[in-house]
Chain A
Amino acid sequence: MSKFADQVRQGAYFSESRGHDTLLEIRSPLTARPVPPRVPEGPQVVQAFISQHRSFFILLAVLMAQLVLLSVQVTRDRNVPLAKVWAVSTFAPVERGLRSATDGISGAWTAIRDLGHAQQNERELNARIAADEAEIRELSAKASENDRLRSLLDFKARAGYSTVAAEVIGSSPGENSNAILIDKGADAGLKADFPVVTADGVAGKIVAVYGHSAQVLLITDPAAGAGALLEQSRVQGVLKGGGRGLCRLDYVMNDNAVSPGDKVVTSGLDRVFPKGLPIGTVVEAKDGNIYKNVIVKPAVALNQLEAVLVVVSKGSAPEEPQARH
C-alpha cells in the first residue's frame, strides 16, 4: 500500500487536467497503464471559448437586450412610459431646485457686484449717486422681466385661449436636443399634444406629461410637425422640424410664389395648434422636383426659452385651471 501511495504522490496516476477541475484517475497498480491524452469534447470547447471571451459576450448580450427594447418601442410607436416617469419624477425636483439655486446665486452675485460698484463709486463720487444707480439697475432688471411677463400676459389676453404659464427647468440630453422640460405637469391640467407658445409664436407641443413636469417637443425637432400657411399668399404646407434650429415647410408646389421674408403662421388644420399663431419667417426657398424646399427660421428663440404658455383650451378663454405649486 505504501508503494501505491508513493506512486500516487509522484503523479504516476494523475491523468490530465480539464479547466480548473483536476481529474484524477486512480487505478490499482495491477491494472494501471498509461492513459492517452483526452481530446476536449464539443461542449468543453464552447465553454472554454465563452469563458475566454466573456466580456465580449456580455457586451453582445447587453446590446441585444437594448435592441429588443428599441424594437418593441419602435413597433409600438411609443416610448417606455414607466421608466421615463420614474426618471423624470426623480430628477425634475432636483432640476427645479438647481434652477432656484442658480437664480438665488445669480441674484446674490449681482447684489454683491452692485455693492462693490457702489462702494467704488462712493469713493469716486458720492454714496447717493451710487445707490441711485444700483437702484436704477435693479429696477431696469425688474422692468425687463416685467416686460417679458407682460408680453406673455398680453398675448394671453389677446389670444383668447385658456393657458397655463410654465418655467423651463431642463432640456433633453444630447447634442440634437430639441426638447425641454417645464415645471408644470398633470397637476396643472396639462395633457399630451397641448400646444406650447410664447408671445413671439409657437414653441412646440407637449409629448409627455408627468406629475409636476412635462416634456415639450420643440418645433425644430425632426419628429415635430404642424399645419402651416404663408401669411400673405395663404399657401398651405406642412411644417416639419429640420434640426439645427430651423424648420422646413413641405408640400408647397413649385408654382406657388414663396420668397425669403414671408411670414409663416399656423393653419389650424392639424387640430393641435390654434390658427394664426406666428411660426417663423422663410429664410430660403428653392424649387425642387415637385415641391419647393422652403426653410423657415422659428419666430421664437428656442435656445433662450425661460417661460412659456401652454394652451390648454383653444376656445374662448374660460376659467384657467389652477396650477398647484
Chain B
Amino acid sequence: MAAPAERPINVYRVHPLTLWIAALLALVLQPFLPVVLPAAHLLDLPLLVVIYFSIMRRSKVFGTIFGAALGLAEDALSHGFLGMFGIANALVGYFGAWGSIQFDLEQFLGRLALTSALVLFHTLVMSGLRHVLVASPPPLELLDLVSIVLLNSALAMILFQALDRFRRPA
C-alpha cells in the first residue's frame, strides 16, 4: 500500500441512477432478507453501499453526506432512535473516503482490509451508541463481532465486484 504521493489515484463515477437504485435496493432488502433467511440479520446492506460509493468517489464530503442520508433512512425503518445509523454511517463514509486516498484499493486485499476495518468500526460505533442511549443494551459478544465482520466483508467483495461494472473513470 503505497503512500498517496507515490501513486496516481483513480477517481471513478457512476450514473446517478445506479447510486439511487443501489441505495434503494439495500434499504428494501435489509428488512426483508431476515424474514426469509434468519442469518441475514447479521448483514448490513446499506453499510456496504456506503462503503463502496465512498471509497469509489474518494470524496470525504460525499461519503459523509451519503452515509448520513442512507443511515437516517435506515433509522427511519428501524425501531431505534433516528440518528444512530446516521452517525455511524456518516463516520464510515468519511473514513472510507479517507482510506481510499491513503491506500491502494484497486487490489483485492487492500479493499478487503479497509472494508473489514470499516465494518468493525461501524459495529463498535453502533454498540457504543446503544450503550449510551439504551437503558440495558445487549452485550456485544466476540463471536457476533467476528461473524458480522466476516459475513459483511465476504458479501462486500462480491457486491463490489458487481458494482464495479457500472463505474467509469471520472
Which residues of chain A have a CB within 8 Å of any CB of chain B?
54-56, 58-59, 62-63, 66-67, 69-70, 73-74, 79-80, 83-84, 86-88, 91, 94-95, 98-99, 102, 168-181, 207-208, 215, 217, 221-223, 240, 242-244, 303-304
Tell me if B130 and A176 are in contact (CB < 8 A). yes
B83 touches A169 (CB 8 A): no
Question: Are the CB atoms of A169 and B35 closer together than 8 Å?
Answer: yes
Which single member of A95, A179, A243 contacts B78 (CB below 8 Å)? A179
In the bound assembly, the distance between CA atoms of A231 and B97 in angstroms comes to 56
Q: Is the CB of B82 within 8 A of A173?
A: no
Distance from A140 Cβ to chain B, minimum over Cβ atoms (Å): 21
Q: Which residues of chain A have C-beta atoms less than 8 A from B159's C-beta?
A: none
In the complex, chain A residues whose CB is within 8 Å of the CB of B41: 171, 174-175, 177, 303
Instruction: Tell whether, in the assembled complex, residue B82 and residue A91 are in contact, meaning their CB atoms are under 8 Å apart.
Output: no
* B46: interface (CB < 8 Å): yes
Q: Does B128 touch A at the CB level, under 8 Å?
A: no
* B106 nearest CB across to chain A (Å): 23
With both beta carbons as reference points, the residue of chain A lying nearest to B41 in the complex is identified as A177
Which one of B11-19, B61-69, B109-117, B162-170 is at the interface? B61-69
Q: Contact between B90 and A59 (Cβ–Cβ < 8 Å)? A: yes
Cβ contact within 8 Å between B76 and A84: yes
Q: A173 and B144 in contact (CB under 8 A), knowing A73-B83, A83-B82, A99-B35? A: no
Q: What is the predominant secondary structure among interface residues of chain B facing chain A?
A: helix
Question: In the bound complex, how far is the Cα of B68 from the Cα of A317, in angstroms?
Answer: 47
Q: In the complex the two chains form, what is the Cα distance from A63 to B81 in whole Å?
A: 14
Chain B residues near A (Cβ < 8 Å) = 27-28, 30-32, 34-36, 38, 41-42, 44, 46, 59-61, 64-65, 68, 72-74, 76-87, 90-91, 94, 97, 123, 126, 130, 133-139, 141, 144, 148
Q: In the complex where A62-B65, A242-B138 touch, is A174 in contact with B36 (Cβ < 8 A)?
A: no
Pair B74/A173 contact, Cβ less than 8 Å? yes
Shortest distance from the beta carbon of A249 to any chain B beta carbon, whole Å: 14
What's the Cα separation between A238 and B61 when bound, in Å? 47
Contact between A222 and B81 (Cβ–Cβ < 8 Å)? Answer: no
Residues of B contacting A221 with CB < 8 Å? 79
A177 to B138, CA, bound (A): 11
Which of A173, A181, A208: most chain B Cβ within 10 A? A173
Kindly state the separation between the CA atoms of A55 and B139 in the bound complex, as whole angstroms. 34
Instruction: Find out whether the CB atom of B82 lies under 8 angstroms from the CB atom of A69.
Output: yes
Residue of A nearest to B62 (CB): A55
On chain B, the residues within 8 Å of A56 by CB distance are 60
Do A102 and B60 have beta carbons less than 8 Å apart?
no
